[in-house]
Amino acid sequence: MVSDSNMRSLGGIAAIVGVGHTDWPDDYRRVRAGERPRDAVGYGVSAFVDALDDAGLSKNQIDGLIVGPTTSYERVGEVLGLDVRWGGSADAMQGILQACMAIYSGMATTVALVYGNNQRSAAVSYGGADAAYGSEYLSYVYHAPWALTSQGALYAMTMRRYMHETGFTERDLAEVAVAQRLAASLNPHAIMRKPISVDDYMASPYICEPLHLLDYCLVNDGGVALIITDACRAKRLKSKAVSINAFGRYDLNVGATSLQPRLSEFYRPAQKRAGEQMFNMAGVSPADVSSLQIYDSFSCHVPLALEGYGYCEVGGAARFIREEGISLAGHLPINTSGGHLSESYMQGWNHQIEAVRQLRGTCGDRQVKDCRFVHYSSDVAGKAVSILYGH
């Protein structure tokens, strides 16, 4: 069993000191206009340059490198001219955890996380026989006889079961898309900024019932980079550091290639355990969280996470969304940049930038008042990861 004291020793040992990203609206416009796009590495390199500048560092001060799984670790290091002593490839959530562990162990002192993706211009498929990363990796092959060949189809079935169990409705789900689009309307970095209403949502077509078009994330090109260093060094840099206060992870692997973990308890056990690890490490509770950022490839991640992490009782997400509120004016502002639904689909990377900006107090009209802690949640494929950011 993992020792709680060992885990607590990782809390607050590292901080994000630099963030950077490409111009997502312009990336989107260029692809739609048929202009020559960058490749995935090019998007990442552009974001890295901005993140270095934000941190006030030079690239020879970087001794660790983690790249997103959409690019080659060797190729990105080569293009950036980085000969680091530690590195590898990971998604945003695992990358942050790995960077903290590398810094704690002395394997690195300052780690660059670089992500670039040309998924829209390259016409990457997220369903069907040619799904990204291979159908077996995402378990599509097991569901193909029932035509469930995309994540959208799998989450549609999850949401149908959840609605049956709890009484949650499509209009309740609409509130998620509406709140996130409202936030995006105040975000100059968001792609989709035109506000929508519940009626707009209900009038949008089904993609896979009960999920509408506005429940689905954007698919677009772009890049993101983060610079993480140890807490002591972070205090000496020009940028306002944001502490990685705590984190947790718990995986549901039994039945992972079937729908069982999604349909029986909606990943709540994994979220509960990951949340307990994180909150115990930081010595805080859900009541202390100022803003919640949720990986939202589909809108239905939001109500499931609210219940899984204890922000409301099981079956109480609809009431929480209606009465407590998840918009910027609500009790718990969620995905305050617009998230994947309206800002940009950067596979969880852009949520980290929003957490940093909220805690720096640089979000302008969408700034959460007195922001002290920001919780990031991801439950992709039943692997629940939680990160708590703070000052």
345 noted as active-site residue: yes
Sheet holding 373-378, edge to edge: 86-89, 64-67, 110-117, 222-230, 14-21, 242-251, 383-390, 373-378, 291-294
What's the N-to-C CA distance of the chain in angstroms? 30
Q: Cis ω on the peptide bond leading into residue 25 (within 30° of 0)?
A: no
What's the angle, vertex CA 308, arms to CA 336 and CA 375, rounded to 5? 35
- Single out the catalytic residue among 43, 115, 250, 295: 295
CA–CA separation, 292 and 53 (whole Å): 27
Residues 6+ apart with CB under 8 A from 326: 175, 176, 179, 292, 302, 320, 332, 333, 334
Q: How far is 347 from 90, CA to CA, in rounded Å?
A: 12
82 vs 100: CA distance, rounded Å: 20
User: What does the angle CA 370 – CA 232 – CA 49 come to, to the nearest 5 degrees?
Assistant: 80
User: How far is the C-alpha of 140 from the C-alpha of 127, rounded, in Å?
Assistant: 8
List beta partners, residue 86: 64
Is 142 annotated in the active site? no
**Which residues are tagged catalytic?**
295, 345
